[in-house]
């Protein structure tokens, strides 16, 4: 099951987790997201932001190999994504409001499924695997809820169960889809604390979100996606500076849309005014 020996890499790309070159994703006629160049290195905490329908979820699914790539290349840990099979190295936290609504299951049972990609075809969870599952629940602050039926947990707690499930696979990068959506303010802070702990453990994170909210302080990089293209890619400081820059313009009413996360809440893809990328 483990991938073959890694192709020797040049030093520059050795810590590259994900790399996209001229990648386009979509369904045959007209890609949803086109011509993306993006490289994420180990230890980065990247937010991919943009209004609903901007193409950010398509970008994330593209990284995970869940949708169709129509052009370009996607390289995962130095291996072309078509030849990459050790998918457990990517930890996926989907956007899910409810967990296992059809049958009862405990938080522990859900988190244990995250361990499966690490234990061969017919393997069972052994004592060490159980410990990793328990520790994953502990990291997200749900150790005392391991035996609780998941549908009785709050929305924020369910979200953390999904994070724990991804952690149980001991991934090298966590890819999260809207972790804060539908989570109240108090629980957003609990969530941010959980992510803080992961940052301390040097977990690389890609967070797809339409609002930065409580997560802003964790980030090392912000990528703005809008209208099917990457509009901004830089540090939070540069992001803030540019947002301020745009605010200085008097005709900023439309220009600040793409950079202001607050404004994006009310934005649909049709509202976005495609304007030039502003470089200071």
Q: Which residues of the shown chain bind another protein in the complex (CB under 8 A)?
A: 64-66, 85-88, 90, 92, 94, 96, 99-100, 102-106, 109-110, 112-114, 116-117, 122, 124-125, 135, 138-139, 141, 143-149, 152-154, 157, 165, 169, 185-187, 190, 193, 197
Separation of alpha carbons 210 and 97, rounded Å: 16
Give the nearer residue to another protein in terms of CB position, either 148 or 260.
Answer: 148
Give the nearer residue to another protein in terms of CB position, either 102 or 128.
Answer: 102
How far, CA to CA in Å, does 269 sit from each of 222, 228, 236, 257?
Answer: 19, 9, 24, 11
Smallest distance, another protein to C-beta of residue 149, A: 5
Strands 173-177 and 204-209, bridge-based pairing:
parallel
- Which residues have a Cβ under 8 Å from the Cβ of 107 and sit 6 or more positions away? 137, 142, 145, 146, 147, 148, 150, 153, 161, 164
Smallest distance, another protein to C-beta of residue 154, A: 4
Smallest distance, another protein to C-beta of residue 30, A: 19
Smallest distance, another protein to C-beta of residue 10, A: 27
DSSP 165: H
Give the nearer residue to another protein in terms of CB position, either 165 or 255.
Answer: 165
Give the nearer residue to another protein in terms of CB position, either 94 or 234.
Answer: 94
**Helix ranges, 118-251 (H):** 127-139, 155-168, 185-200, 236-248
Give the nearer residue to another protein in terms of CB position, either 60 or 246.
Answer: 60
Give the nearer residue to another protein in terms of CB position, either 111 or 272.
Answer: 111
**CA dihedral (257, 263, 265, 271) positive or negative:** negative
Q: Say whether 95 sits in a helix, a strand or coil.
A: coil
Give the nearer residue to another protein in terms of CB position, either 198 or 246.
Answer: 198
- In the chain, how long is the greatest CA-to-CA distance? 64
User: E strand or H helix at 261, and its extent?
Assistant: helix 261-264
Instruction: Using alpha carbons, select from 30, 166, 38 the residue that is nearest to residue 96.
Output: 166
Smallest distance, another protein to C-beta of residue 67, A: 11
Give the nearer residue to another protein in terms of CB position, either 151 or 252.
Answer: 151
**CA dihedral (109, 111, 114, 119) positive or negative:** negative
Smallest distance, another protein to C-beta of residue 233, A: 24
Smallest distance, another protein to C-beta of residue 92, A: 4
DSSP 106: B
Smallest distance, another protein to C-beta of residue 276, A: 35
- Which residues have a Cβ under 8 Å from the Cβ of 124 and sit 6 or more positions away? none
């Amino acid at each position: 099951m483990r991938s073959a020996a890694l192709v020797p890499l040049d030093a520059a790309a050795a810590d590259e987790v994900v790399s996209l070159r001229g990648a386009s994703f979509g369904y045959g006629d007209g890609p949803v997201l086109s011509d993306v160049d993006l490289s994420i290195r180990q230890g980065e905490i990247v937010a991919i932001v943009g209004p609903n329908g901007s193409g950010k979820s398509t970008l994330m699914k593209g990284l995970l190999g869940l949708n169709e790539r129509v052009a370009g290349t996607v390289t995962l840990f130095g291996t072309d994504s078509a030849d990459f099979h050790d998918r457990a190295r990517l930890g996926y936290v989907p956007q899910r409001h409810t967990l296992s609504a059809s049958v009862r299951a405990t938080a522990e049972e859900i988190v244990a499924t995250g361990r499966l990609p690490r234990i061969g075809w017919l393997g069972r969870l052994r004592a060490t695997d159980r410990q990793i599952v328990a520790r994953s629940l502990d990291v997200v602050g749900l150790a005392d809820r391991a035996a609780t039926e998941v549908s009785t947990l709050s929305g924020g707690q369910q979200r953390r169960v999904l994070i724990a499930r991804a952690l149980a696979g001991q991934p090298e990068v966590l890819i999260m889809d809207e972790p804060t959506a539908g989570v109240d303010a108090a629980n957003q802070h609990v969530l941010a604390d959980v992510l803080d702990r992961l940052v301390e453990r040097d977990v690389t994170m890609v967070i797809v979100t339409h609002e930065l909210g409580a997560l802003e302080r964790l980030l090392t990089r912000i990528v703005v996606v809008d209208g099917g293209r990457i509009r901004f890619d830089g540090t939070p400081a540069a992001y803030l500076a540019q947002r301020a820059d745009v605010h200085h313009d008097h005709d900023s009413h439309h220009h600040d849309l793409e950079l202001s996360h607050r404004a994006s809440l009310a934005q649909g893809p049709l509202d976005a005014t495609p304007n030039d990328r502003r470089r200071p």
